[in-house]
Amino acid sequence: MLDHAYRSCQANQGAAGVDGVRFEDIEAYGEERWLGELAERLKQKDYRPEAVKRVWIPKPNGKLRPLGIPTITDRVVQTAVLLVLEPIFEADLQPEQYAYRAERERRTR
């Protein structure tokens, strides 16, 4: 599960979070080793999310919009949790409950 989550996060090519760790750093360290250590932290209930890096990106109207960038570790854990929980909750939702659901559009009457 963590490997799939890592590949999904890696495909998005996001920036480093507050810890400064990039995907290139993880590759140099060893992806399998990194994932194994993360799995162990989760099993030992030793994992704690880091602070979110705040950056400001320009909007077309000239104003700035805040953007939060979690660490890669946090993104991988969040993605793994999503992969497990989404099908569980999706199974109980009615078709007319479309908000925040992937591949769903609001249908008007």
Task: Give alpha helix (H) positions in the chain.
Answer: 2-12, 23-29, 31-43, 72-92
Residue with tokens 């290139």: 24
Residues 6+ apart with CB under 8 A from 49: 70, 71, 74, 77
Domain that includes residue 67, residue range: 2-92
Asked if residue 49 belongs to a domain, the reply is: yes
Total domain count, the chain: 1
pTM of the shown model? 0.82
Asked if residue 18 belongs to a domain, the reply is: yes
pLDDT band at 102 (very low <50, low <70, confident <90, very high): low
In this predicted model, what pLDDT tens digit does every residue of 33-76 receive, in sequence order?
Answer: 999 999 999 999 999 999 999 999 999 999 999 999 999 999 99
